Amino acid sequence: MRVHVSVPATSANLGPGFDALGLAWALHNEVVLSEAEGVSVAIEGEGAARLPRTADNMVARGVKLAYDATGRPFKGCALACTNRVPSARGLGSSAAAWVGGLVAGNALLGAPLTKDALLSLAARAEGHPDNVAAAIFGGLTVSCVSGATVTAVPLPVPASLRWVVLIPEVTNATADARAILPTSVPHADAVFNVQRVALLLASLWAGRPAALGVAFEDRLHEPYRLRLFPWMSDVVKAARAAGALGCVLSGAGPSLLAVVAGDGAPVAAAMEAVLRRAGIAGAARALDVDTSGARSRVIG
């Protein structure tokens, strides 16, 4: 038997929602899995030249994690991965790998694990829940860790909004982007973010996009990560001047996410122009929201 899994790219944080908010995109990695003796991994697309093709591959580790969680012996697997999610760009490539492996392994075992169980396993493997929650449930998710329990609640996103992602052709390790953050922040900055993440969710829920300009502001991570991406401020200003309601880092960056109430083409062009002037190659693309999350099916 073989199973096929499709898992979406994701953007975490969305400005003020550090380690809590995630949004899934209609840009997917695909995994085809079958049982085998030993581990073999075939890779096409993003990362094909550098990702491991052994048991160290993150997708293969996700498959084994599903077996271990259900008490089933893991002898190996044959994986064929088609990667479309750019790696190390802030679009959830590692979350897609963990979730892809977990969902594939679970499907091959007959789906004994619930989505909530998969979420807990994926969040523990990834180290934070925001990307994996969106990858599993789709759409906009709010996630929270309490001890060993991870809770995620999917929320609707207004269909009238358009999303533009600027993807530079430079990479950034999430570990480096986290290492640059302080271990504590001023009380005023914490209050600033609490207000804005609440406003962000209320604005989306109530269909009041005009409030998003303030709601996307952040003081917990973006000001510190400016040192890694000194061109970011100019891109954000250009996106806002071209009509974006807001523009934020996608996850740990370097990709930037803009939200638009109308035509996203002028915003995409403005963002690309600033990046070129900074001497960095890259492209902006419009992405639709994936509302389904990771999906699996038996293919024979």
Write out pLDDT tens, residues 129-183.
999 999 999 999 999 999 989 999 999 999 999 999 999 999 888 888 899 999 9
Place of tokens 């917990």: 220
| pTM of the complete model beyond 0.75 | yes
Sheet of 256-260, strand order: 246-249, 256-260, 162-168, 282-287
Q: What is the pLDDT of residue 4?
A: 98
Of 74-78, 249-253, 296-300, minimum mean pLDDT range? 296-300
Show the tokens assigned to 300. 């024979």
Place of tokens 């449930």: 137
What domains are there in the chain, each with its CATH number? Answer: 2-155+289-298 (3.30.230.10), 162-287 (3.30.70.890)
DSSP conformation letters of 21-35:
EEEEEEEEEEEEEEE
DSSP state of 188: H
Give the Å distances, CA to CA, from 238 to 139, 187, 215, 241, 270: 27, 31, 18, 5, 6
CA distance 177 to 270: 25
* pLDDT, tens digit, 9 for 90 and up, residues 198-209: 999 999 999 999
Dihedral of alpha carbons 94, 96, 98, 100, sign: negative
* pLDDT, tens digit, 9 for 90 and up, residues 98-113: 999 999 999 999 999 9
* pLDDT, tens digit, 9 for 90 and up, residues 12-35: 999 999 999 999 999 999 999 999
Amino acid symbol at 286? A
Q: Is the pLDDT of residue 300 over 80?
A: no
Calculate what percentage of the chain has a pLDDT beyond 90.
Answer: 94
DSSP state of 75: -
DSSP conformation letters of 130-181:
HHHHHHHH-SEEEEEEETTEEEEEEE---TT-EEEEEEES----HHHHHHTS
Of 29-33, 57-61, 74-78, 261-265, minimum mean pLDDT range? 261-265
Calculate what percentage of the chain has a pLDDT beyond 70.
Answer: 100
Q: What is the pLDDT of residue 176?
A: 85
Q: Is the pLDDT of residue 293 over 80?
A: yes
